Structure 1
Amino acid sequence: MGHTSTVALLGTGIMGTGMARSLRRAGLDVRAWNRNPDRARPLAEDGVVVCESAAEACAGADVVVTMLFDAESVEQVMTELLEQEPDLGSRAVWLQTATVGPEGMARLAELAGRHGIPVLDAPVLGTKAPAESGSLVVVVSGDPDLRDRVEPVLDAISSRTLWAGEEVGVASRLKLVVNAWVASLNAAVAQSVTMARALDVDPRLFLDAIGGGPTDTPYAQLKGGMMIGGEYPPSFPVDSVRKDLDLMALATQGRGYDATLLEALRAVYAQASEQGHGGDDMAAVVEAFRPGSA
């Protein structure tokens, strides 16, 4: 068991907020920072120390967790932080949990190497509810000697940790593979819900028909219900899915991969975003299938 007591969490959006609460619930000291400070302030009610700067959050931290939107934002924040705190790597491990893709993770690993901070590639699987309940799945790759130092953090935020390899970047590649499945499944549910309506069938009968069978998933029932109800409170926003799909397209270029389905997914999520649903939950992709939306 590691001896982590203080965790700096940089980024308190949908995922970071839930992770901060899970870390606190596990008894860890949590110092949080967000570029928009208003997003972080409510965490003070949970016993999280809300900081005005990333450097303040990292003061005395044993583990620095980044959960920002993309590779560019992580790189910008960490570059500034590591220039301000050149000795951070002598005491802390960087646990990089945002979805940044393999190219982004390679840049971040290079940044970490320049500044002498050990880094683990650790994207998380799950959305708002698992983040809040501490039941994410974390896929991790990197130096296995760092495991003990981050174990208390991983235990607090996840129901399971999958160690994918000793090479930084493997976990980021696996995360894209998983999110391709998630984006595909969600879009497939949207297609069937919309097709049911087009064929004058109650779309709830579609969910009833697959319910409990080998083709059913909790995700289909959850997202399908949101699509039928037309309410999309964000758990995994459309624009976040678009970002990940773009990372998939970049990562698979030149690898002999047929991107026909990937390009179709990019098109329908882009359509939903352009219709004003970028900040809504990914279930809002159903709007791209509606008549006249193309």
Structure 2
Amino acid sequence: MEEVGFLGLGIMGKAMAINLLRHGFKVTVWNRTLSKCNELVELGASIAETPAAVVKKCNSTFAMLSDPAAALSVVFGKDGVLEEICKGKSYIDMSTVDAETSSRISEGIASKGGHFLEAPVSGSKKPAEDGQLVILAAGDKGLYEEALPAFDVMGKKSFFLGQVGNGAKMKLVVNMIMGSMMNAFSEGLSLADKSGLNPQTLLDVLDLGAIANPMFKMKGPSMIESNYPPAFPLKHQQKDMRLALALGDENALSMPVAAAANEAFKKGRSMGLGDADFSAVHEVSKDSSSKN
């Protein structure tokens, strides 16, 4: 896997591809907006003008795309992955999508004789930059083992979860929990502020107790300042909540906490916060408290 392709250079994909380059991999990149490839070229990457051209050049291609529609388009669309995938070539999709989308991509790759692995990641911008992602892989076990050197560069731990779809499901469960926690945290900060308490003191108290966690510690200070630089955009968190709720529907599972959290993220999008960090859902709880 010394020469690989990489499709998608958003916040996450860019950091992941840079880590591959810095650890000696030869990388050919593609992004829908090709100008986003320029920084990677300065670090030694090559550019291809289409996903198909990347797959034609590289035996193994990674993808990190924004949502199911983008993941499907890159594979099945014009100049897409399927036009060049064939026996001996592999496709590893690290995007966060639903299990059905992942299965459709897997079937498409298999129909051309290629190998497929889904490998969504847990982590946002900083873990991606530091090579500290958690990789949730499922599908072709042999391809998983071949990809481990690359996964070890991009992540701190990789899991193999069995058949295609299990990686997607695990990622949605993780992000559903994270989104629900962020809403509770946001409401707590707003309640402390409205009650005349110092929100920073709340952060200190939380950090010393049983619910201390890196997310509160990392996001809390900037939330108090109403500053939300995007490490994981709110619109993507809302997409993941929606997909997780759909998974709950499939399993006839009631998830009222997640459903309420999804509504808060939807409200955040309607307030124009979609491109801000998902912690900007704090503005929703502040907006609610200001009306009471």
TM above 0.5: yes
Which residue of 1 is the match for residue 247 of structure 2? Answer: 251
For residues 172-183 of structure 1, the aligned pairs below 5 Å read 172-183=168-179
Change (3 A) 1:152 1:62: farther
Mean Cα deviation higher: 113-122 or 195-204: 113-122
Code of the residue aligned with 1:236 in structure 2: it is F
What percent identity do the matched residue pairs reach?
Answer: 30
CA deviation after TM superposition for structure 1 residue 180, in Å: 1.1
Deviation at 1:83, TM superposition (A): 4.4
The size of the alignment, in residue pairs, is: 288
Query: Which residue is equivalent to 2:65?
Result: 68
Report the AA paired with residue 273 of structure 1: R
CA contact (8 A) 1:5 1:62 kept: no
* Matches of 1:147 and 1:272, distance apart in 2: 37
Q: Which residue of 2 aligns with 1:47?
A: 44
Matching residue within 148, 156, 163 for 2:160: 163
Q: Is the 8 A contact 1:31 1:58 kept in 2?
A: no
> Counterpart amino acid of 1:72?
A
User: CA separation in 2, counterparts of 1:186 and 1:260?
Assistant: 15
Aligned match for 2:131, one of 131, 134, 149: 134
Aligned to 2:235: 239
Q: Is the 8 A contact 2:52 2:82 kept in 1?
A: no
Worse-superposed segment, 278-287 or 132-141: 132-141
Do 1:70 and 1:98's aligned partners in 2 also have CA atoms closer than 8 Å? Answer: yes
Alpha-carbon distance, 1:24 to partner: 0.6
Amino acid at match of 1:206: L
The within-5 A match list for 1:81-230 is 81-85=80-84, 88-165=85-162, 167-230=163-226
Task: Check conservation: 2:103, 2:165, Cα contact below 8 A.
Answer: yes
Alpha-carbon separation, structure 1, partners of 2:115 and 2:276? 36
- 1:134-163, CA deviations, whole angstroms, 9 ceiling, x for partnerless residues? 111101111212233212211111111011
- Give the unaligned 5+ runs of structure 1: none
Q: Within 5 A, what are the aligned runs for 1:3-18?
A: 4-18=1-15
Q: CA–CA distance in 1 between the matches of 2:93 and 2:287?
A: 41
1:272 corresponds to 2:271: no
CA contact (8 A) 2:82 2:109 kept: no
1:263 aligns with 2:283: no
Question: Aligned partners of 2:89 and 2:82: how far apart in 1?
Answer: 15
Structure-2-length-normalised TM-score? 0.94
**Equivalent-residue separation in structure 1 for 2:144 and 2:256 (angstroms):** 39
- Detail structure 1 runs of 4+ shifted over 6 Å in the superposition: none
Q: Deviations over 1:70-109 (max 9, x none)?
A: 1221111112424431xx3323211110001112112211
Q: Tell which deviates more after alignment, 15-24 or 147-156.
A: 147-156
- SS of the counterpart of 2:161? strand
- Identify the range of structure 1 (207-216 vs 56-65) with the bigger mean alpha-carbon deviation: 56-65
- Residue 261 of structure 1: CA displacement? 1.0
Q: Which residue identity does 2:272 align to in structure 1?
A: G
- Deviation, 1:43, is 1.4
Aligned to 1:289: 285
Q: Are 1:238 and 1:278, in contact at CA under 8 Å, matched by a contact in 2?
A: yes
1: CA distance, partners of 2:127 / 2:156: 9
Deviation at 1:127, TM superposition (A): 0.5
> 1:219-238: per-residue Cα shift (whole Å, max 9, x none)?
11111112101111100010
Is residue 2:75 matched to residue 1:78? yes
What is the distance in 1 between the residues matched to 2:240 and 2:287? 26
* CA distance in structure 2 between the aligned counterparts of 1:263 and 1:7, rounded to whole angstroms: 39
SS at match of 1:9: strand
Describe the SS at the equivalent of 2:272.
helix
Q: Give distance in 2, aligned partners of 1:157 and 1:199.
A: 43
TM-score, normalising length: structure 1? 0.93
What SS is found at the alignment partner of 1:277? coil
